[in-house]
Structure 1
Amino acid sequence: MAFAIEVPPTAGLPARFGDFLPHSGFGKAKQHLTDRLAAQFGLPPLQLECSGTACLIIALKTLQAMPENAGRDEVVVPAYNCPLIVLAVAHCGLKLRLCDTMPGGFDFDQASLQNCVHAGTLAIMPTHLGGQTANSALVKPLARKNGAWIIEDAAQSLGAPQLPGSGDIIFFSLAVGKGLTLYEGGLLTAKTAKMRAALQATSRTLIPSRPFFELRRLGQFCLYACFYRPGLLPLVYGRPRRRALAKGRLEEAVGDVFSPDIPLHKVSNLRAGFGLAAALRLPDFLQATRAQARRRLPVLQKLAEKTGGKLQILGADKVDKAVWPFFMLLMPDKAGRDAALAKLWPSVDGVSRLFIHALGDYAYLQPFLGARQAAPNARNLAERMLTVSNSLWLANGRFEKLCHIIEHALLTGDKKDKDIYLPQ
């Protein structure tokens, strides 16, 4: 049976057979991998953990244990964010404070942030979404004034040139679909050697060895490496997504549903070794996706001009200051966004949504959120955004066709024609 060429929603670095061949670095692969990535991207010394979520838990637990943070129990996060952030904060027994985002962007709204930060704030978390960088410098004066720490969530932005920013701690994700993946993994570091030592000490105490769970991750990583191919992705990504969409399970379709039982375990040198060879290719891969973004952003900007400025492309003026797994497009309203998605989301062309809701609007997160907190800008962002893959597998002709569909939705907002778009 022949399958359509399926484009993933993000530009992930495909594995090669040679990545899995034995080499001399396997014995100390975790150290070699973190050293290599730190050198490639100008980062402080890194530690490898089992997920970005685990990195955040380690960071929060480290801050909780510091005597000077006694009585501080709130974490301030942007209200447009990954649901795993909510679960990680709850895992640590801390309170979450949702801060609204700026209009039409994912940075903190400064007026809202002023109202969220106080003497009981433990940490503020600027989030670098979709390879773009948040302005963490705007957070620093308020954090220092109130004695709070800054944890930069760079889960989606490994390799972005401006990172780390003004944070005390920063973490990255190596999960499925990221530029570099171990199927699941995370990188954690801090600005000062003292804090890095504290993070490592927390990890040694908190993170157990679970050999059988790690064996499961090794198997998942190998299967991912096999199926992360445009001809096989329909089996593991495309068809399940289309079934979820057909049933109206949007959170499931985009991968927004997570268990509060967060796995914590040590990453093996074997799995790190599989990522070591891929890490050598990562800078060139990020350059290739940035070059493609440089070619395609003008097409999207012309589309915005052609439709009277109805379309906003986040980060379009910062092409060399970001990594580009996908493009984040803001439609003028929910109706126009949904009109475009009616055709493009079920297609094979890598169009999706980043998060289905603002954090306060996920029903399954309500037990972890406490008091309801208004975040109209974040909700508006969730209602208007769609994402377009920057995968190198998305051919120019298919990119142009999906741009025409977005243009039609911008000009008409027509939701009547819902035929699935499957280019030949």
Structure 2
Amino acid sequence: MPAYTCPLVALAVAHCGLELRLCDLAPGSIDFDAGELARVCDRDVLAIVPTHLAGRIADIDTALAIARRVGAFVIEDAAQALGARRDGRPVGFEGDAGFFSLAVGKGLTTYEGGLLVARDPELRREFARTSREIVPRRIGWELKRSLQLLGYHAFYRPSLLGLAYGAPLRRALRRGDPVAAVGDDFSLPIPLHTLGRWRQSVGARAFARLPEFLDACAAQAQRRRAQLARIAGIDVVDDPSGAQGVWPFLLLRLPDEATRDAILRKLWGAGLGVSRLFIHALPDYGYLQDVVGEQDAPNARVFAATTLTISNSPWLLDEEFEAIRAALESVLARRVP
């Protein structure tokens, strides 16, 4: 796995009784460092998990070439990239399997849950058989998730998000807990239960509206990306040639951690949708020490320390985005060349 990604994926590996082996990122990139990936992959590796982080499209070809050499699977982590494409093909289908998240905060959600996909019919049959074998139907959990989904629907509007999301975030920031502020504080065990029919139907109905929503988000993101690109010192992470990612938010790289933190002091918690993605590289989460151990990942650490996100919600008005842009420009203008 890449050394900078969602901690929940690392916990899922541990949940399956497998040993996690990390690979550092390429400098300034969401992709694996190709040389290190070739070095750390041997015949003991079961699967390589390239990650389409923040809706951007990852390099799958390198992972596939190395996986075929050592006899490993390639599992695409497309949790944040439902609807993304590369050369016209949907992500998640170039490797042996792919998964998408339908958890809270995604463009399409069943509150918790997700999608597991594979091109090979036999592999799909194996996934379905395994699911029937190990994933129980738990009425209590399904009732809880259904009520949470209803509550999410009730509060997911501009007038109430500040109460449901903003208040806990600001409390976490006041006590100096950025991990809790972004929701990185996961724990084992991961509760397994079958997604009920009602939540499946909610997701299916929303799926029909997804392409139009993604097109509108992409158009807005490109307009705002062009505005940000005019500010010296900002790099908006984009897709490689031929790829069309999705834009849940804009992922920005800043020149250094001090500059990034100066911007966050102005904007994080201000109700403008400015935040961080994952707080640390995986080896730096205290609660992951038994899962990850001590592993060196200098590029992943730099990426974690120099990035921030800006919401691409249709609810973020142009005048609010202008306030964000002005704050970015103000901080970066004071940097010493």
TM-score range, shorter chain: over 0.9
User: 222, 226, 247: which is aligned to 1:324?
Assistant: 247
Amino acid at match of 1:86: A
User: 48, 61, 84: which is aligned to 1:160?
Assistant: 84
Amino acid at match of 1:85: V
What is the alpha-carbon distance in structure 1 between the residues aligned to residue 105 and residue 206 of structure 2? 14
> Is residue 101 of structure 1 aligned with residue 25 of structure 2?
yes
What is the alpha-carbon distance in structure 1 between the residues aligned to residue 195 and residue 258 of structure 2? 44
Amino acid at match of 1:156: Q
> Is residue 346 of structure 1 aligned with residue 269 of structure 2?
yes
Q: TM-score, normalised by structure 2?
A: 0.96
Three-state SS of the structure 1 residue aligned to 2:53 is: coil
- 1:197-217: CA deviations, max 9, x gaps? 111111010100101110000
What is the alpha-carbon distance in structure 1 between the residues aligned to residue 135 and residue 93 of structure 2? 27
Three-state SS of the structure 2 residue aligned to 1:171 is: strand
Aligned length in residues: 332
Q: Counterpart in 2 of 1:117? A: 41
Three-state SS of the structure 2 residue aligned to 1:130 is: helix
Deviation at 1:351, TM superposition (A): 0.4
Deviation at 1:276, TM superposition (A): 2.5
User: 288, 291, 299: which is aligned to 1:377?
Assistant: 299
What is the alpha-carbon distance in structure 2 between the residues aligned to residue 319 and residue 181 of structure 1? 28
What is the alpha-carbon distance in structure 2 between the residues aligned to residue 81 and residue 177 of structure 1? 16
* 1:13-412 alignment, distance < 5 Å: 77-162=1-86, 163-164=91-92, 166-303=94-231, 307=232, 310-315=233-238, 321-370=244-293, 372-412=294-334
Structure 1 unaligned regions, length at least 5: 1-76, 415-424
Please tell me whether the aligned partners of residues 119 and 146 of structure 1 are also in contact (alpha carbons under 8 angstroms): yes
What is the alpha-carbon distance in structure 1 between the residues aligned to residue 285 and residue 333 of structure 2? 31
Deviation at 1:275, TM superposition (A): 2.3
Please tell me whether the aligned partners of residues 239 and 245 of structure 2 are also in contact (alpha carbons under 8 angstroms): no
Please tell me whether the aligned partners of residues 136 and 167 of structure 1 are also in contact (alpha carbons under 8 angstroms): yes
- 1:240-262: CA deviations, max 9, x gaps? 10010011010000000011110
Structure 1's 284 and 82: CA in aligned 2 closer, same or farther, altered over 3 A? same
Amino acid at match of 1:350: G
Please tell me whether the aligned partners of residues 137 and 165 of structure 1 are also in contact (alpha carbons under 8 angstroms): no
Amino acid at match of 2:143: L
Structure 1's 244 and 290: CA in aligned 2 closer, same or farther, altered over 3 A? same
Among all aligned residue pairs of Structure 1 and Structure 2, give the percentage whose two residues are the same amino acid. Answer: 50
What is the alpha-carbon distance in structure 2 between the residues aligned to residue 348 and residue 173 of structure 1? 25
Amino acid at match of 1:297: R
What is the alpha-carbon distance in structure 2 between the residues aligned to residue 382 and residue 319 of structure 1? 27
Amino acid at match of 1:92: C
Amino acid at match of 1:346: G
Deviation at 1:228, TM superposition (A): 0.6
What is the alpha-carbon distance in structure 1 between the residues aligned to residue 226 and residue 9 of structure 2? 34
Structure 2 unaligned regions, length at least 5: none
Deviation at 1:221, TM superposition (A): 0.1
Indicate the RMSD between aligned Cα atoms, in angstroms.
Answer: 1.4
Higher relative contact order (CA 8 A, sep 6+): 1
Please tell me whether the aligned partners of residues 325 and 390 of structure 1 are also in contact (alpha carbons under 8 angstroms): yes
What is the alpha-carbon distance in structure 2 between the residues aligned to residue 365 and residue 382 of structure 1? 16
Structure 1's 292 and 318: CA in aligned 2 closer, same or farther, altered over 3 A? farther
Deviation at 1:318, TM superposition (A): 5.9
Amino acid at match of 1:83: P
Q: Counterpart in 2 of 1:25? A: none
What is the alpha-carbon distance in structure 2 between the residues aligned to residue 297 and residue 288 of structure 1? 14
Structure 1's 178 and 318: CA in aligned 2 closer, same or farther, altered over 3 A? farther
Amino acid at match of 2:41: V
What is the alpha-carbon distance in structure 1 between the residues aligned to residue 323 and residue 134 of structure 2? 50
Q: Higher Cα Rg: structure 1 or 2?
A: 1
Q: TM-score, normalised by structure 1?
A: 0.76
- 1:110-129: CA deviations, max 9, x gaps? 11111210010000000001
What is the alpha-carbon distance in structure 2 between the residues aligned to residue 357 and residue 383 of structure 1? 8
Please tell me whether the aligned partners of residues 294 and 319 of structure 1 are also in contact (alpha carbons under 8 angstroms): no
Deviation at 1:272, TM superposition (A): 1.3
What is the alpha-carbon distance in structure 2 between the residues aligned to residue 365 and residue 316 of structure 1? 30
Deviation at 1:320, TM superposition (A): 6.4
Please tell me whether the aligned partners of residues 275 and 309 of structure 2 are also in contact (alpha carbons under 8 angstroms): yes
Please tell me whether the aligned partners of residues 101 and 109 of structure 1 are also in contact (alpha carbons under 8 angstroms): yes
- 1:359-408: CA deviations, max 9, x gaps? 010011101113x1110000000000000000000111110111111112
What is the alpha-carbon distance in structure 2 between the residues aligned to residue 376 and residue 323 of structure 1? 28
Please tell me whether the aligned partners of residues 297 and 316 of structure 1 are also in contact (alpha carbons under 8 angstroms): no
Structure 1's 362 and 171: CA in aligned 2 closer, same or farther, altered over 3 A? same
Q: Which moved more, 1:162-171 or 1:147-156?
A: 162-171
Please tell me whether the aligned partners of residues 136 and 165 of structure 1 are also in contact (alpha carbons under 8 angstroms): no
What is the alpha-carbon distance in structure 2 between the residues aligned to residue 116 and residue 87 of structure 1? 20
